[in-house]
Amino acid sequence: MDITPLQPSDYRAIVFFTGAGMSAESGIPTYRGKGGIWTKYRWEEVACEKAFRRDPEKVLTFHRERRLGVAACKPNVGHQVIAALEQQHPQVSVVTQNIDGLHNRAGSGRVIELHGSLWRLRCPSDGRRLEIEPGSDYPDRCECGAWLRPDIVWFGDSLDQNVITAAMESLAGCDLFVSVGTSGTVWPAAGFPQVARQNGAYSLEINPEANEISPLYDQAYRAPATQVLPRLFPSVTGPVRA
Ligand code: NAD
């Protein structure tokens, strides 16, 4: 496939908009692909507020297992290219739908996590938040005695308005918008390519498969993220962290 390299310095601000496909080559399954998690579990039983109220231990066990799975995976070269680019360019940000924390583990500093993080817990009672690390232990209950829930957006939850505002601010200022590995089916994130386009950004899609919002992009590369990103930004080399 022909890939035209981009010169980062040609752009004032770059936004990477990422979805589950970004982490697929790290070994974390997408939702809609083969082996997707909702082919094995019912979200009604493990990933919604109602299930948490009904059976918190079952929901927390499910998320503990997810964390073990994600902790065993490493950021891929795509995550690393994005993180390294941030070291070379003053305005690079990541707006991600992923909850796996792999952008942070690769070294990205400006990451807006639309759907929260597996690596943060929240007390539904007093609102306290607790950051946790892959590989280290963490409590199931808050100091106040309530069960701690994962600080992620479950089915039926609303997104945090501050997070949406931060994402919109990034989009408003960007002139290069690179979408990686999203099917564009989960809202409001699915509307972001349109917002970037309206703001005049040049937009690219990296995804082996086209989807409904593909026509919104100026250019598409139909190949996996790890094949496209290093060739799109060949000027970027950075420390490999995992
Ligand atoms: P999705 O599962 O709906 O779609 C994944 C997309 O990635 C598809 O369009 C697929 O063609 C593409 N893809 C697959 N392999 C790829 C690769 N190697 N390189 C580039 N693209 C590839 O995911 P979504 O659009 O992110 O929406 C699903 C929701 O579920 C989101 O909230 C998402 O964050 C969440 N989710 C997160 C994780 C994670 O944190 N890693 C994993 C699964 C789902």
Tell me the average pLDDT across 168-177: 96
Active site residues: 115
CB distance 24 to ligand 1 below 6 Å:
yes
Tell me the average pLDDT across 210-233: 96
Choice from 95, 117, 182 to test ligand 1 binding pocket (greatest atom count within 8 A of CB): 182
What pLDDT was estimated at residue 235?
84
What pLDDT was estimated at residue 186?
86
Between 236 and 5, name the one with better pLDDT. 5
CB distance 76 to ligand 1 below 6 Å:
no
Q: Does the pLDDT of residue 183 top 70, yes or no?
A: yes
Tell me the average pLDDT across 172-182: 96
Ligand 1 atom with least separation from CA of 78: 19
CA of 165 to the centre of ligand 1 (A): 23
**Share above pLDDT 90 across residues of the chain, in percent, rounded to a whole number:** 86
What pLDDT was estimated at residue 127?
94
Q: Does the pLDDT of residue 230 top 70, yes or no?
A: yes
Q: Which of 8-22, 24-38, 71-85, 194-208 has the lowest mean pLDDT?
A: 24-38
Buried b (16+ CB within 10 A) or exposed e, 233-242: beebebeeee
Question: CA Rg, the chain, in Å?
Answer: 18
Other CB atoms within 10 Å distance of the CB of residue 135: 9
pLDDT band at 242 (very low <50, low <70, confident <90, very high): very low
What pLDDT was estimated at residue 165?
97
CA of 203 to the centre of ligand 1 (A): 18
Ligand 1 atom with least separation from CA of 186: 27
Ligand 1 atom with least separation from CA of 224: 19
Average pLDDT, rounded, for the chain: 94
Q: Does the pLDDT of residue 105 top 60, yes or no?
A: yes
Other CB atoms within 10 Å distance of the CB of residue 56: 17
| Crossing angle (nearest 10°) for helices 225-232 and 77-88 | 30
pLDDT band at 185 (very low <50, low <70, confident <90, very high): confident
pLDDT band at 241 (very low <50, low <70, confident <90, very high): very low
Q: Does the pLDDT of residue 107 top 60, yes or no?
A: yes
Tell me the average pLDDT across 76-96: 97
Q: Does the pLDDT of residue 93 top 80, yes or no?
A: yes
Tell me the average pLDDT across 168-193: 94
Measured CA to CA, the distance from residue 116 to residue 94 in angstroms comes to 13
Tell me the average pLDDT across 6-22: 97
